[in-house]
């Protein structure tokens, strides 16, 4: 263990989100106390009252930017962070709350609040990368805690994280899952979705619903055609692409293509 003062400083920041991705840090039950010895947890409001001033060696950012104040705050976070890694679908793609990007946010506010004037919000929910430069983006809604540990270890060792960029299909083959589409005709976003979950849904007899967002080079046009062949309607396809990663460019384009039909 390094002596206090020379340990790298970690900060965890929250923007619009469900807290699930930062919870993944606390869900590292076997490694958590060791981690707290190896690195200085300098800013992590969900877990600690104590805060240490920046700059921070590594900032993990959860959540998307949805208010003017948060758009300002993320610039400050970037300024005090040597490395900035986004964790999860909200920070990486805008999250489920980015469904407002396809609608009228004013109408959304009126639908939920009796006095809309008390609420200040931006018209869009944007990923961190649309606001500041980011050093790495970890996918998932929620992220996988093993992948998170790999990213933290990699950045502290100043090496590239070993995170595969292939699709969920590869994970299914590795796990020995029977293909839910081929065997049961179940629609599945696995062919276009970024790996990382371990092909959880197909292992539970369910089609992938894309919570890790698009893989690097997704062929959504082909998948849409196949899914249509299984009896899916345009509205089903639009909903499938518009969930937790609706604003990720590849999924956004695929849903807009369907909408234009």
Which residues bind to another protein, rule: CB under 8 A? Answer: 14-24, 26-27, 29-30, 32-33, 36, 41, 44-50, 66-67, 70, 95-97, 99-100, 103, 105, 107-109, 111-115, 118-119, 121, 125, 141-142, 197, 200-201, 203-206, 209, 211, 236, 239, 243-244
Q: What dihedral angle (degrees, nearest 10) is formed by the CA atoms of 40, 45, 49, 53?
A: 50
Closest CB 95 distance from another protein, rounded Å = 8
What is the C-alpha to C-alpha distance for residues 125 and 116, in angstroms, rounded to an integer? 18
Closest CB 7 distance from another protein, rounded Å = 12
Closest CB 134 distance from another protein, rounded Å = 20
What is the C-alpha to C-alpha distance for residues 185 and 112, in angstroms, rounded to an integer? 38
Closest CB 120 distance from another protein, rounded Å = 9
Closest CB 86 distance from another protein, rounded Å = 16
Q: Tokens in use for 94?
A: 């805008």
SS3 per residue for 136-162: EEECCCCCCHHHHHHHHHHHHCCCCCC
Residue 99 or 132 having the CB closest to another protein: 99
Residue 6 or 117 having the CB closest to another protein: 117
Q: Tokens in use for 112?
A: 């939920």
Q: Phi first, then psi: give them for residue 152, nearest 5 degrees.
A: -60, -45
Task: Note whether 42 and 9 are within 8 A (CB).
Answer: yes
Q: Tokens in use for 237?
A: 């396809």
Residue 47 or 170 having the CB closest to another protein: 47
What is the C-alpha to C-alpha distance for residues 215 and 217, in angstroms, rounded to an integer? 6
């Amino acid at each position: 263990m390094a002596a206090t003062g020379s340990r790298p400083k970690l900060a965890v920041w929250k923007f619009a989100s469900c807290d699930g991705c930062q919870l993944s840090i606390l869900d590292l039950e076997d490694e958590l106390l060791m981690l707290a010895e190896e690195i200085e947890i300098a800013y992590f409001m969900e877990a600690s009252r104590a805060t240490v001033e920046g700059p921070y060696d590594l900032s993990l950012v959860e959540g998307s930017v949805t208010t003017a104040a948060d758009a300002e705050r993320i610039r400050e976070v970037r300024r005090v962070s040597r490395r900035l890694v986004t964790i999860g679908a909200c920070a990486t793609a805008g999250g489920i709350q980015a469904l407002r990007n396809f609608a009228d946010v004013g109408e959304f506010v009126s639908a939920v609040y009796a006095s809309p004037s008390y609420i200040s919000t931006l018209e869009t929910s944007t990923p961190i990368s649309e606001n500041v430069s980011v050093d790495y983006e970890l996918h998932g809604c929620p992220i996988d805690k093993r992948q998170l540990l790999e990213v933290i270890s990699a950045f502290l060792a100043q090496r590239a994280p070993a995170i595969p960029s292939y699709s969920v299909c590869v994970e299914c083959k590795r796990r020995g899952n029977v293909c839910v589409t081929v065997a049961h005709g179940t629609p599945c976003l696995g062919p276009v979705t970024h790996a990382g979950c371990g092909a959880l849904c197909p292992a539970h007899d369910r089609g992938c619903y894309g919570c890790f967002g698009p893989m690097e080079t997704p062929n959504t046009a082909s998948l849409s055609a196949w899914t249509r062949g299984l009896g899916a309607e345009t509205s089903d396809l639009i909903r499938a692409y518009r969930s937790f990663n609706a604003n990720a460019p590849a999924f956004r384009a695929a849903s807009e293509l369907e909408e234009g039909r």
